[in-house]
Amino acid sequence: MPPLSDFNGAIAGRNVIVGSHFETGATMNNYFGGYPIMHGSRKRVPFSTIPFAPDRDFVDRPEILEWIHDKCVGPGARAALVGLGGVGKSQLAIRYSYDVRDASLQTYVFWVHASTRARFEEAYRHIADRLELPRRDDPNVDVLQLVRNWLCDETNGQWMMIVDNADDIEVFYLKQTRTGDESSPPAPTPLATYLPQSRNGSILITSRSKDAAARLAGGYRNIKEVFAMDETQALDLFRNKLGCASDEEGAVDLLRALDYIPLAITQAAAFINRRGRMTASGYLDEFQRNDKKRKSLLNWDSGDLRRDESASNSVVLTWQISFEHIHEQRRSAAELLSLMSFFNPQGIPEWILRRHSKSVAKAGDEDEADNAFDEDLGTLQSYSLITATADRDVCEMHALVQFCTRVWLSSFSDAKRWKQKFLGLMARESPQADFKNWVKCRQLLPHVVCLYESELPSDEAVKKWALMLNNAAWYMQTGLGKYDEAEKLNRRVLEGCEKELGVQHLVTLTSVSNLALVLQYQGKYDEAEKLNQRALEGSEKELGVQHPDTVTSVNNLAIVLQYQGKYNEAEKLYQRALKGCEKELGKKHPDTLTSVSNLAMVLRFQGRYDEAEKLNRQALEGREKELGKKHPDTLTSVSNLAMVLRYQGRYDEAEKLNRQVLEGCEKELGVQHPDTLTSVSNLAVVLRDQGKYNEAEKLNRRAVEEREKELGVQHPDTLNSIYGLACLLDKQKRYTEASELYQRACDGYKQKLGSQHPTAIKCLNDFTAMQQEAEEEGLRRSRTFNNNHKAALG
């Protein structure tokens, strides 16, 4: 009987590519993530990462600034400013950060955008780059932890950090839910973990949520609520922003109408400056004439703009006036604003906006189109509706501005048209989630996900919507290893497609297949099998049995049957898929090579090692030529070949190949990606077979711990690692430890795979054999003891 039973393999097709999950398997998909911890960097002159220049029009609010100075002076201090969006929290934080630098050039000042996890991570990566921290570009290193370690090292000197727009508590602390499903992948590390309480640093937080601010700052005593300005401060700000004399009476009336909100005041002054001859009274007249267009600003609670009605409607009115006058003065700028209102508010790539502007511009000089776009962007900036980073890579907006823009568009029934434009733009620019496109996928993911959260489109638009979200889910699944989020996205897409397109539409069938795929990754094989069967039957009916998409469905179904231990059924389907691929796509096509690899895998499970070796070498040679040696699918073929060699007793060759695969996975995909952990487990097994128990145990325990964390304690891959560790301890006669692990593995297999699954049967047999061996060992020891005792007594 061969050693520890295993599963692995992958399928590929026009719609999906599946990788392996089981302990001795290997994946042929894409990878992302990983993070060992590093420390330290060389000494340097302290610097600031504040992305904004000092505001020469800033109006001092001494009570608040004094409070900040008092709160942030102590070691490890934390303080937070809370209040409605637009009341000046960030501006106060910017002013304080410059005060810190003015007081001491030996103090680092760091600025961290915190509205989303992605923006927080981006800011920490920027800090790591500025600090030139060693290994910051290593995909195996957790850059967040790297920066935190630096912040905690008091030898690096004093620092102060601004955590801006920390509105959503769930960005920093995981939402507590009880699903009752231990196999669900665990949530990522809470971001609050990466905000250290270090004696040499202090943190100032800005947030719309008192609860979020109090939790991050260590209690309500450490938060300061920022209200609208008083009349004197508001008038000073208005004068500063206006830059010239204004009618005082009209200005006071206007500021009162604006509720003394700094953002509204700044925007009004920008509009008046833009119009030239307009006065405060003239602005107020227009403001009051638009009362019929008044809409509730938003509903917000705990930083969620869709809840609570406590926001001032005056801000809405101010922005609406700006929108309409931009539309009158420079329609292309208003159109750009309309489009931007549907993106994620932060990190909007400038390149995608520029491409859109060029695509709608009249044919002509490309430089002229670029200049027009820059003028549009400048117009929006002049009204304080957007900001652009210093290097002009990305633009940002307040979510409040976006909301009000959409309200404005709805007032003349134009919101739907611009949503469709956004959908079309993202459909054109979103790439397939292949390994080579992951950088772009990561950049666009927050914006594509906006489509998930929005109202379901109808008609032909739902096809584009489904395509983008399917790609996003595939990237989440293969690139990020976020199976739970990918499942949620896939279910939403399938629900939408069934509703708008019907259950037999080809896009719906693709969505069925994609959902089945992520369920397979999660070890939910029964549901995955049903969905794959549905997708196959639908494809055969709609496309015919030889169509490449139908062949993909054949492969998908086969892989799930294989995971369920139904090897004969799986082999028949793999043979069918291979013949179909060779006929329709050719022998060198990546999908054909995947079918070759899949067939080799099931042959290995059946003990047909010579056949499996031949096919694995064929797949490896083809993938090295077509995809390159570093591609995840190529690494999978190396791993598959290594497993066959191991079963043939060619341990030295197998070990060498497994080390090659592990090194490649860690380098390209990170140390914690599920596929990398499969490589860890594979190497542990072959080392165990050679009696290299110390290294094997170290790797095996790593696989168990990380899989429990990433996949859950009941995932089949996790159970395989537990089973492998039990076998290792068994071989070392560490029966007590092995017994506990065998029991866990047996119970888990019975629950997840069924008691008749080949791996479940083998695990139980091995456990039973060990128990018998342990009992016999005990009897031998007892007899030896008795004999020695009798001999001692004479």
Q: How sure is the predictor about 477, in pLDDT bands with cuts at 50, 70 and 90?
A: confident
Nearest CA-CA partner of 68 in 58, 81, 56, 55: 81
Q: What is the pLDDT of residue 777?
A: 78
Which residues span the domain enclosing 720?
Answer: 11-32+639-791
Interval 453-465 mean pLDDT: 78
| 3-class SS string, 501-520 | CCCCCHHHHHHHHHHHHHHH
Q: What is the pLDDT of residue 753?
A: 87
Strand partners, 304: 301
- Looking at residue 87, which CATH number applies to its domain? 3.40.50.300
Residue, of 248 and 732, whose pLDDT is higher: 732
382 has pLDDT over 70: no
> Is position 319 within any domain?
no
**Contacts of range 98-103, beta carbons closer than 8 Å, 24 or more positions apart:** 98/50, 98/54, 99/65, 99/69, 100/160, 101/48
Nearest CA-CA partner of 201 in 62, 89, 46, 43: 46
> Is position 501 within any domain?
no
Interval 541-564 mean pLDDT: 93
Q: What is the pLDDT of residue 291?
A: 33
Residue, of 179 and 116, whose pLDDT is higher: 116
Residue, of 442 and 28, whose pLDDT is higher: 442
> Is position 282 within any domain?
no
d(CA 342, CA 393): 18
The lowest-confidence range among 117-121, 262-266, 614-618, 689-693 is: 262-266
| Final residue belonging to a domain, choices 171, 200, 225 | 225
Predicted model pTM: 0.62
| Final residue belonging to a domain, choices 225, 242, 258 | 225
161 and 97 co-located in one domain: yes
**Contact by Cβ (8 Å): 582, 542:** no
| Final residue belonging to a domain, choices 195, 225, 255 | 225
Segment 364-374, tens digit of pLDDT: 677 788 888 98
22 and 159 co-located in one domain: no
Contacts of 522 (CB under 8 A, 6+ apart): 183, 184, 185, 483, 484, 487, 711, 715
Q: How sure is the predictor about 100, in pLDDT bands with cuts at 50, 70 and 90?
A: very high
Q: What is the pLDDT of residue 12?
A: 34
Q: What is the DSSP letter of 478?
A: I
- Looking at residue 769, which CATH number applies to its domain? 1.25.40.10
d(CA 685, CA 690): 9
d(CA 334, CA 521): 45
> Is position 306 within any domain?
no
Q: How sure is the predictor about 780, in pLDDT bands with cuts at 50, 70 and 90?
A: confident
37 has pLDDT over 70: no
148 and 28 co-located in one domain: no
98 and 220 co-located in one domain: yes
Q: What is the pLDDT of residue 321?
A: 60
755 and 644 co-located in one domain: yes
> Is position 290 within any domain?
no
d(CA 399, CA 310): 16
Q: How sure is the predictor about 396, in pLDDT bands with cuts at 50, 70 and 90?
A: confident
Number of domains in the chain: 2
> Is position 406 within any domain?
no
665 and 761 co-located in one domain: yes
Give residue 712's identity as a one-letter amino acid code: G
- Strands 17-18 and 387-388, bridge-based pairing: unpaired
| 3-class SS string, 650-672 | CHHHHHHHHHHHHHHHHHHHCCC
Segment 201-221, tens digit of pLDDT: 999 999 877 778 889 999 989
Q: How sure is the predictor about 292, in pLDDT bands with cuts at 50, 70 and 90?
A: very low
Q: How sure is the predictor about 655, in pLDDT bands with cuts at 50, 70 and 90?
A: very high
Q: How sure is the predictor about 789, in pLDDT bands with cuts at 50, 70 and 90?
A: low
> Is position 745 within any domain?
yes
* 771 alpha carbon, distance to own chain's centre: 45
245 has pLDDT over 90: no
The overall average pLDDT reported for the chain is 83
Interval 218-238 mean pLDDT: 91
Nearest CA-CA partner of 596 in 654, 627, 637: 637
